[in-house]
Amino acid sequence: MLEYARWKYILVSLVLVIALVFALPNVFGSDLALTVATKDHTDVTQDGAKSVEDFLKSKSIPFKGADIEGGRLIVRFDTVAQQYQARDAVAEQFKDKYISALYYAPRTPAFLRKLGLRPMSLGLDLRGGLSLLYQVDINSAVTQLLDGYAQDARKVLAAAKIPYKDVSQVAVDSDRPNAVRVVLAPEADVDAARKALAQTFQDTKVSTESLASGSAITAALTPAQIRQRQDYAIQQNITTLRNRVNELGVSEPSVTRQGLDRINVELPGVLNSAEVKDLLGRTATLEFRMNDETHSATEAKLTGRVPLGSKLYTNTRMGVPILLKREVIATGDQLTSATSSSGQEGPQVDIKLDSRAGDAMLKATRANVGHHMGVVLIEKRRETIDVDGKKVTRDVTDEQVINDATIQGVFGNQFRIVGLGAGEARDLALLLRSGSLATVIYLVQEQAIGPQLGAKNIASGVLALEIGMAGVFLFMALYYKVFGLIADLVLLANVVLLTALLSMMHATLSLPGIAGILLTVGMAVDANVLIYERIREELRKGVSPQAAIRAGFEKAFSAIADSNITTLIAGVVLWVFGTGPIRNFAIVLTLGIATSMFTALMGSRAVITLLYGGRRKVAHLPI
468-487 binders of another protein (CB under 8 A): 468-469, 471-472, 475-476, 478-479
195 binds another protein per the rule CB under 8 A: no
Site string for another protein, 111-140 (x = CB under 8 A): --------------x-------x-------
Q: Which is nearer to another protein, 17 or 582 (CB)?
A: 582
| Consecutive H or E run containing 138 | helix 138-159
- State which residue, 3 or 562, has the beta carbon closest to another protein: 562
SS3 (DSSP) at 386: strand
Q: Is 71 left (phi over 0), alpha (psi -120 to 50) or beta?
A: left
> Which of 95, 314, 579, 610 touches another protein (CB under 8 A)?
579
Does 170 help bind another protein (rule: CB under 8 A)?
Answer: no
Closest CA to 338 of 240, 465, 430: 430
Shortest spacing between CB 550 and another protein, in angstroms: 17
Task: Indicate the SS3 state at residue 33.
Answer: strand
Supply the minimum distance, in Å, between the C-beta of residue 34 and another protein: 19
Least distance to another protein, CB of residue 582, Å: 6
**CA-CA distance, 267 to 99, in Å (whole number)?**
14
Torsion of CA 472, 476, 478, 483, to 10 degrees: -150
Nearer to another protein, 541 or 616 (CB): 541
Burial class (CB in 10 A: 0-12, 13-18, 19+), 27: exposed
Residue 600 DSSP class: I
DSSP of 240-286: HHHHHHHHHT-SS-EEEEETTTEEEEEEET---HHHHHHHHH-EEEE
Footprint (CB under 8 A) of another protein, residues 243-262: 259, 262
Residue 464 in the binding site for another protein (CB under 8 A): yes
Best CA proximity match to 582, nearest among 501, 505, 516 = 516
The answer to whether the beta carbons of residues 372 and 405 sit under 8 Å apart is yes
Only segment of 149-157, 296-304, 364-372, 580-588 that touches another protein (CB under 8 A): 580-588
Q: What are phi and psi of 618, to 5 degrees?
A: -110, 120
- Residue 134 CB, nearest distance to another protein (Å)? 11
211, 423, 447, 506: residue in contact with another protein (rule CB under 8 A)? 447
- Round to whole Å and give the CA distance between 315 and 499: 57
Q: What's the CA gap between 605 and 613, in Å, rounded?
A: 10
- Find the binding residues for another protein in span 507-526 (CB under 8 A): 511-512, 515-516, 518-519, 521-523, 525-526
Single residue of 16, 192, 418, 448 touching another protein by CB under 8 A: 448
Nearest alpha carbon to residue 523 among 499, 487, 554, 552: 487
> Using the rule CB under 8 A, which residue among 17, 115, 396, 463 binds another protein?
463
Q: Is residue 17 close enough to count as binding another protein by CB under 8 A?
A: no
Burial of residue 199, with CB atoms counted within 10 A of its CB: 0-12 exposed, 13-18 middle, 19 or more buried: exposed
Residue 569 is a binding residue for another protein (CB under 8 A): yes
Could you give the CA distance from residue 541 to residue 144 in angstroms, rounded to a whole number? 78
Q: How many helices (H) and strands (E) does the chain have?
A: 17, 22
Which residues from 385-404 bind another protein, rule CB under 8 A?
391, 393
Q: Is residue 267 near another protein by the rule CB under 8 A?
A: no
**529 lines the binding site for another protein (CB under 8 A):** yes
Stretch that binds another protein, among 107-115, 232-240, 406-414, 551-559 (CB under 8 A): 551-559
CB of 143 to another protein, least distance (A): 22
Residue type, 172: V
Strand 121-122 relative to strand 508-509: parallel, antiparallel, unpaired? parallel
Tell how strand 129-136 and strand 164-170 pair up: unpaired
Any contact of residue 558 with another protein (CB under 8 A)?
Answer: yes
Q: Which window, 8-16, 285-293, 317-325, 571-579, contacts another protein (CB under 8 A)?
A: 571-579
271 binds another protein (CB under 8 A): yes
Nearer to another protein by Cβ, of 378 and 511: the residue is 511
Our CB check for another protein shows the closer of 334 and 584 to be 584
- Is residue 446 at the binding interface for another protein, with CB under 8 A as the rule? yes
